[in-house]
């Protein structure tokens, strides 16, 4: 596995496939950029040579590489976006938590990098952006899979995640940032977390490390009276599937599930036993199987 000093964002894929028992195969993936409002850019990973069949949207303080294992298991042409303020995307002038503004940026990126409509798998904060996107631009999406998120998730239920995200502004060494991340993610292997950190952190000239999202300032939640996410979710004229993580770090409560079912009785809730909040990290093969079954009517071999 490549080490800290020789980072290559596409140099981990074979190691990734071996860890998850995915048959090692040639992979075509490239970094792309889409122009959005204000001379900014949204970055993305474009997998495959054909037109993307699927869009992936990560959660707060993550990046497009968080879906690498899922993309490798699916082996389909797709696009995984870096949300504004995250990964290789430019900072958003309105900050890291702004579903309305971020949905507009994602809409511009999808229009440039894909041929809409197409389904979207969106985890955590990315799911709130996806709901907003479906409301503002229903022509872009054909289905949504929400990964461990509903509009009912509150600051209280997500406090453990917020505390981790709003932790130290920098770390003296890679070992320090790795050790803290491993404590927070006991369900994940050290190798997968090491890969994730190298994708999601930067080393400064003085040797210290900082999360990519924190180079723009620490994320925070802010109330927005213009967000009506439950109503927008209820009104969305497309299939919506809720994938609920059943591990201790999940942020979706029984009450959230009940409200989802009340609002969308025609849709389904799928539970993933033992999964962490970041299902694509702890249970990527299970999530890939759900995506294939729900969105494409198939089961991967």
Return the active site residues.
124, 148, 277
> What are the two backbone dihedrals, phi and then psi, of residue 255, each rounded to the nearest 5 degrees?
-65, -40
Report the distance separating Cα 233 and Cα 268, nearest Å. 14
Question: Do residues 117 and 139 make contact, with C-beta atoms less than 8 angstroms apart?
Answer: yes
Question: Do residues 255 and 152 make contact, with C-beta atoms less than 8 angstroms apart?
Answer: yes
Report the distance separating Cα 301 and Cα 285, nearest Å. 11
Measuring CA to CA, how many Å separate 239 from each of 233, 253, 263, 293?
10, 21, 12, 13
Structure tokens at 114: 């894909």
> What are the two backbone dihedrals, phi and then psi, of residue 50, each rounded to the nearest 5 degrees?
-85, 175
**Angle (CA) 106 261 154, round 5°:** 60
Q: Are strands 201-203 and 209-211 parallel, antiparallel or unpaired?
A: antiparallel
Structure tokens at 27: 């992979």
Report CA torsion sign: 91, 236, 269, 53: negative
Task: Count Cβ atoms within 10 A of the Cβ of residue 91 and give its class: 0-12 exposed, 13-18 middle, 19 or more buried.
Answer: middle
Q: Which of 176, 124, 118 is nearest to 151 (CA)?
A: 124
């Amino acid at each position: 596995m490549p080490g800290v000093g020789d980072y290559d964002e596409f140099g981990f894929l074979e190691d990734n496939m071996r860890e998850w028992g995915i048959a090692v195969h040639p992979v075509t993936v490239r970094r792309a950029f889409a122009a959005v409002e204000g001379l900014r850019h949204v970055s993305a990973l474009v997998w495959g040579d054909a037109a993307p069949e699927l869009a992936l949207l990560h959660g707060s303080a993550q990046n497009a590489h968080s879906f690498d294992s899922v993309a490798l298991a699916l082996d389909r042409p797709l696009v995984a976006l870096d949300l504004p303020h995250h990964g290789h995307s430019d900072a958003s002038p309105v900050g890291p938590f702004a579903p309305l503004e971020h949905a507009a940026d994602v809409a511009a990126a999808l229009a440039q990098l894909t041929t809409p409509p197409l389904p979207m798998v969106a985890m955590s904060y990315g799911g709130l952006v996806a709901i907003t996107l479906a409301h503002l631009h229903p022509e872009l999406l054909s289905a949504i899979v929400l990964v461990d998120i509903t509009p009912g998730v509150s600051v209280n239920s997500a406090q453990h995640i917020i505390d981790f995200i709003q932790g130290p502004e920098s770390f003296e060494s890679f070992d320090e940032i790795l050790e803290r991340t491993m404590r927070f993610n006991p369900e994940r292997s050290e190798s997968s977390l090491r890969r994730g950190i190298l994708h999601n952190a930067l080393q400064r000239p003085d040797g210290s490390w900082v999360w990519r999202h924190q180079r723009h300032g620490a994320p925070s939640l802010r109330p927005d009276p213009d967000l009506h996410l439950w109503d927008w979710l209820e009104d969305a004229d497309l299939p919506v599937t809720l994938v609920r993580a059943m591990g201790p770090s999940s942020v979706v409560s029984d009450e959230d599930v009940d409200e989802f079912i009340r609002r969308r009785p025609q849709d389904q809730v799928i539970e993933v036993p033992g999964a962490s909040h970041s299902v694509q990290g702890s249970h990527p093969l299970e999530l890939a199987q759900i995506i294939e079954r729900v969105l494409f009517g198939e089961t991967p071999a």
